[in-house]
């Protein structure tokens, strides 16, 4: 329940395999492990009560961060990152520290600095799990010598001894273990393809699988591929990189490698099974797909990129604000085809109103903008950051019709649509008038009243003529009563409260008859909500027999019966505050 109320912490956990990017050229290593890592982080004193748990021995609270909390990993990773900030010779993954150096002297200094930091922050290490000054070391499931990294022999043997899966859950467990070392296996996707095909569709973990024939051969081949896993070198930032790709009928693969000491050294292997549609590609297309692998590109986009790459690979995006002229004019041309820009420029030359404006008769900032692909200039307003062409008087209605007729929007939407693209004196006034007089809009649209005006109650002519009724449910039990029938006279605001043991229709009808009508006479109107007690046939017969008119409030709108609802606020508070049996 505590985790359900906790806001997620987005602090990133280290990528498990990133430690190999830092240790190229290092020959000596040490590892540190913290004692009950999470339990070394104190909990904020104000939040300690939130960690309470109930046990057979009583209730306990955690003064230190316990395992299983939603943000425990993120909190601890942030803490150890703060400890090792600026120490480039140390890689930390939660409570596992890896210290790497090029020689023994520097390693002693590095280890001393780490110990000083741990002492400063009050951290305690588990010496039984620490290793110091090793030429080869085990870290995060990998065997790490000075020249590379490979899977642990014990883990490889465990996968090699894994029995043949009999259920979907066992098969997924095997593939999950194997793919932890996937980057060490060349062509992993093609080898595992027969096993992955058994997991397609909607299948449950307890369902049995038939590992035989091709699937059994693939299962044994997966084990063999891990036993023959490649030895991956540590990445060198100064080495030249190479990417070798290949494609088969079922999968694509790649090898990332670097040149060091005159030879190629593998850094990682990548492979991916082809989708059914991709398997139909020609060999050239599959090879191209292996080189340029991007999941969100369609085959058409691959073809376009292949063609463009024959001319250039330098494709850059320019935002619309930096490409104002072409962007603005291209959008205008797209939405307003009936208005030709060249024709618009010619009409500007003979427009007398524009000549007066250019003499300084308006606040418009008109500048000449060349029309792309022509030798013609167009007067545009750049006061809003976008170049809006000025429209002469005889073309304004044409511009309005070309945009308004797209979907016949309302006045505000039409005005916004046009003023973002064009400008002329009184453009908003013209858009408003033309939208109101548009014949298709008048024929197709109707005016809808989506909200009713506020109503008022008529003033009652005399007391006890208009009565508001309601029921309070439930209340603390007192003398067998746990409900209240309430009534308020609208003229005098005189209240009556009658306790009830139940709220059946018969009990409520008796309360109306004995508690109000017998004392104050029959009212002209009774106003209630739409409770079942007031909607039943018994209450209807009561109104016909006695002679009052029953009126109901609007559903889910208690404000209609506000007089009695307001009385309930004080009445319920007074009753609940006493809270006794009598």
Look at residue 453 in the predicted model and tell me its pLDDT. Answer: 56
* Partner residues linked to 368 by β-bridges: 379
Look at residue 538 in the predicted model and tell me its pLDDT. Answer: 92
Closest-CA residue to 20 (of 118, 141, 168): 141
Look at residue 335 in the predicted model and tell me its pLDDT. Answer: 46
Closest-CA residue to 174 (of 231, 130, 220): 220
Extract long-range pairs of 69-72: CB within 8 Å, 24+ residues apart. 69/2, 69/3, 69/6, 69/38, 70/2, 70/3, 70/6, 70/8, 70/9, 71/6, 71/8, 71/9, 72/38
Q: How many CB atoms sit inside 10 A of residue 527's CB?
A: 23
Parallel/antiparallel/unpaired status of strands 466-472 and 483-489? antiparallel
Q: Which residues of the chain have pLDDT under 50?
A: 329, 332-336, 449-450
Look at residue 328 in the predicted model and tell me its pLDDT. Answer: 52
Q: How many CB atoms sit inside 10 A of residue 83's CB?
A: 16
C-alpha to C-alpha distance for 140 and 152, rounded to whole angstroms: 10
Look at residue 322 in the predicted model and tell me its pLDDT. Answer: 62
3 state DSSP class of 151: strand
Cα first-last separation, the chain: 39
Closest-CA residue to 343 (of 370, 378, 372, 368): 378
Look at residue 516 in the predicted model and tell me its pLDDT. Answer: 92
Residues with Cβ < 8 Å from 376, sequence gap 6 or more? 341, 342, 345, 346, 370
Query: Which token pair is 212?
Result: 């035989």
Is 560 in contact with 553 (CB distance < 8 Å)?
yes
Closest-CA residue to 36 (of 94, 91, 84, 92): 94
Burial of 469 (0-12, 13-18, 19+ CB in 10 A): buried
* Partner residues linked to 365 by β-bridges: none
Extract long-range pairs of 393-401: CB within 8 Å, 24+ residues apart. 393/351, 393/353, 393/424, 394/347, 395/339, 395/344, 395/347, 396/424, 396/427, 396/430, 397/434, 398/338, 398/339, 399/336, 399/339, 400/430, 400/431, 400/434, 401/338
C-alpha to C-alpha distance for 380 and 364, rounded to whole angstroms: 9
pTM of the model: 0.46
């Amino acid at each position: 329940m505590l985790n359900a109320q906790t806001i997620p912490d987005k602090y990133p956990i280290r990528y498990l395999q990133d430690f190999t990017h830092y240790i190229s050229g290092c020959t000596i290593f040490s590892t540190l492990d913290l004692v009950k890592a999470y339990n070394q982080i104190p909990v904020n004193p104000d939040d300690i009560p939130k960690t309470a748990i109930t046990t057979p021995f009583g209730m306990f609270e955690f003064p230190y961060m316990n395992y299983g909390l939603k943000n425990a990993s993120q909190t601890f990773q942030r803490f150890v990152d703060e400890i090792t900030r600026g120490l480039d010779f140390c890689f930390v993954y939660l409570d596992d520290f890896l210290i790497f150096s090029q020689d023994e002297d520097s390693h002693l200094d590095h280890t001393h600095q780490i110990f000083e930091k741990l002492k400063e922050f009050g951290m305690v290490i588990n010496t039984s799990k620490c290793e110091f000054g090793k030429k080869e070391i085990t870290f995060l499931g990998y065997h790490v010598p000075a020249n590379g990294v490979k899977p642990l022999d014990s883990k490889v043997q465990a996968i090699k001894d894994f029995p043949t899966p009999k259920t979907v859950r066992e098969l997924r467990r095997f593939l999950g273990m194997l793919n932890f070392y996937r980057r060490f296996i060349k062509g992993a996707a093609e080898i595992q393809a027969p096993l992955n095909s058994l997991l397609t569709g909607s299948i449950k973990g307890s369902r049995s699988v038939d590992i035989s024939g091709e699937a059994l051969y693939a299962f044994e081949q997966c084990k063999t591929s891990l036993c023959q896993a490649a030895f991956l070198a540590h990445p060198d930032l100064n080495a030249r990189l190479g990417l070798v790709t290949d494609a088969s009928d079922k999968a694509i693969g790649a090898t990332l490698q670097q040149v060091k000491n005159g030879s190629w050294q593998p850094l990682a292997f990548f492979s991916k099974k082809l989708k059914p549609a991709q398997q139909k590609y020609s060999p050239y297309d599959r090879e191209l797909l292996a080189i340029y692998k991007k999941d969100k590109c369609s085959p058409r986009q691959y073809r376009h990129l292949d063609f463009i790459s024959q001319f250039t690979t330098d494709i850059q995006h320019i935002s619309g604000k930096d490409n104002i002229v072409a962007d603005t004019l291209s959008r205008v041309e797209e939405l307003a085809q009936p208005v030709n820009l060249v024709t618009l420029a010619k009409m500007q030359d003979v427009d007398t109103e524009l000549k007066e404006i250019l003499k300084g008769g308006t606040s418009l900032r008109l500048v000449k903008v060349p029309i792309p692909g022509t030798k013609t200039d167009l007067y545009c307003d750049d006061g809003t950051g976008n170049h809006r062409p000025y429209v002469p008087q005889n073309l304004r209605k044409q511009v309005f019709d070309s945009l308004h007729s797209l979907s016949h929007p309302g006045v505000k939407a039409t005005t916004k649509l046009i003023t973002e693209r064009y400008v002329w004196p009184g453009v908003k006034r013209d858009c408003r008038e033309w939208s109101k007089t548009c014949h298709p809009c008048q024929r197709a649209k109707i005016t809808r009243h989506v909200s009713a005006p506020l109503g008022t109650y008529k003033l009652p002519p005399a007391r006890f003529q208009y009565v508001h009724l309601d029921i309070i449910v439930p209340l603390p039990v007192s003398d067998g009563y746990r409900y209240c029938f309430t009534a308020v006279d609208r003229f005098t605001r005189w209240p009556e409260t009658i306790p009830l043991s139940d709220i059946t229709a018969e009990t409520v009808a008796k309360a109306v008859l004995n508690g109000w009508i017998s004392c104050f006479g029959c009212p002209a109107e009774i106003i209630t909500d739409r409770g079942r007690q007031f909607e039943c046939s018994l209450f209807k017969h009561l109104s016909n027999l006695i002679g009052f008119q029953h009126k109901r409030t609007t559903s889910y709108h208690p404000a209609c019966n506000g007089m009695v609802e307001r009385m309930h606020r004080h009445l319920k508070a007074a009753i609940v505050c006493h809270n006794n049996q009598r």
